[in-house]
Amino acid sequence: MQSATLSTDAYAPTERASIWRDWNWSLFGGLECDLYGDSAFDGHIARAHAGDIILTRLEAHRHRVDRTARLARADIAPGYLKIVAPLQGRARVEQDGREAWVGPGAWTLYDTTRGYTVDNPGQVEHLIVMLPKAQLAERGLRLESLVARPVGATTGIARVALSTMRSTFEELPHMSADAAHGAGELIAQLVRLSLIELSGQETHHTQREALKDRIRGYLALHLRDPALTVERMAVALHCSKRHLYNAWADEERTLSTHIQMQRLEGCIRELSRPAADTVMKERAITDIALSWGFSNPAHFSRVFRDHTGLSPSEFRAMRRTGNPSA
């Protein structure tokens, strides 16, 4: 898991404003920064990754950032959707002729592929979450009407999304890479559901997509549980098995097969770790299989061989010797 901590405390007071501007430019994809004419400034940034999701806690004196439309159009880097969720203080986000004021307990979204402005008129502490735009845009959600709109997070799915973003950032230092990746996927799913709710798109299609996202979110949290079944998932999501199967009907794999393959892929990742990783080298294959929810070692070995053409021990040995055919 990538992480970084930056603080202007390490620099002379006369250098801090310039350093802060440089950080905003490099970390957030080309932002111009204005300090409202202040000569004194302090700022702190803690940044970490949860899979493809980037989470940043930013503490700073008052400041304003701008991303011009010209710079956004010229940027060839992948686009992000950025969420600002204040922990202290307030922020004003302006994009596409709309503006949203948000404070603690709310959040708003903006698109880095278009120009925007964020005003922080006082001392602030923000959680900033960056999601690859493609993750939300590719599934039919019209984002243009959803940027720079306040998302109240006192009730409903938006509250769950905000709580998950906050708790994920706090717990990331204690998570494995696989757990962090799953947490990032869950954040993306909850944000998407929040935006569907915000947009009022309650069609049959989006309801099915929403249930599919809830399925993915449940799996991200419970995949390693050997007691996970479709029946148990239906009870937890307050729907029938038929509704689960119908929501999943357009996927290439059945829901049960998807669960098995997700577990198998987790085992494959662990068995592919290099020999220099002594923790993984000493861990028994059976322990790996059990940790990913396989309750029967013989069944795991059979499924593994059917998928890879090798036994788990053969696969690990070949990967560690650098054989590319494995």
| Residue 238 zone, left/alpha/beta (φ > 0; ψ -120 to 50; rest) | left
Q: Can you give the pLDDT at residue 205? A: 52
Q: Can you give the pLDDT at residue 138? A: 58
SS3 4: strand
Q: Can you give the pLDDT at residue 279? A: 45
Q: Can you give the pLDDT at residue 8? A: 94
Q: Can you give the pLDDT at residue 278? A: 44
Q: Do residues 92 and 119 lie in contact, with contact meaning Cβ atoms separated by under 8 Å? A: yes
Q: Can you give the pLDDT at residue 71? A: 82
Q: What is the rounded CA–CA span in Å between residue 308 and residue 315? A: 8
Sequence spans of domains, the chain: 3-153, 269-320
Q: Can you give the pLDDT at residue 62? A: 93
What is 3-153's CATH number?
2.60.120.10
Q: Can you give the pLDDT at residue 140? A: 61
Q: Can you give the pLDDT at residue 206? A: 58
Q: Can you give the pLDDT at residue 83? A: 96
Q: What is the rounded CA–CA span in Å between residue 233 and residue 324? A: 38
Q: What is the rounded CA–CA span in Å between residue 239 and residue 194? A: 20
Q: What is the rounded CA–CA span in Å between residue 209 and residue 187? A: 16
- CA terminus-to-terminus distance, the chain: 26
Q: Digits of tens for pLDDT over the chain (326 positions)?
A: 456 799 999 999 999 999 999 998 888 878 899 998 888 899 999 999 999 999 999 999 999 999 988 888 777 677 899 999 999 999 999 998 888 999 999 999 999 999 999 999 999 999 999 999 887 775 566 788 889 998 877 778 899 999 999 999 999 998 888 889 999 999 998 998 888 888 764 444 556 777 887 888 788 888 899 999 999 999 988 888 998 998 898 888 899 999 999 999 989 988 887 765 444 446 899 999 999 999 999 999 999 999 999 999 999 988 877 654 54
Instruction: Please state, in angstroms and as integers, the Cα–Cα distance from residue 73 to each residue in 109, 113, 119, 184, 234, following that order.
Output: 19, 7, 22, 27, 45
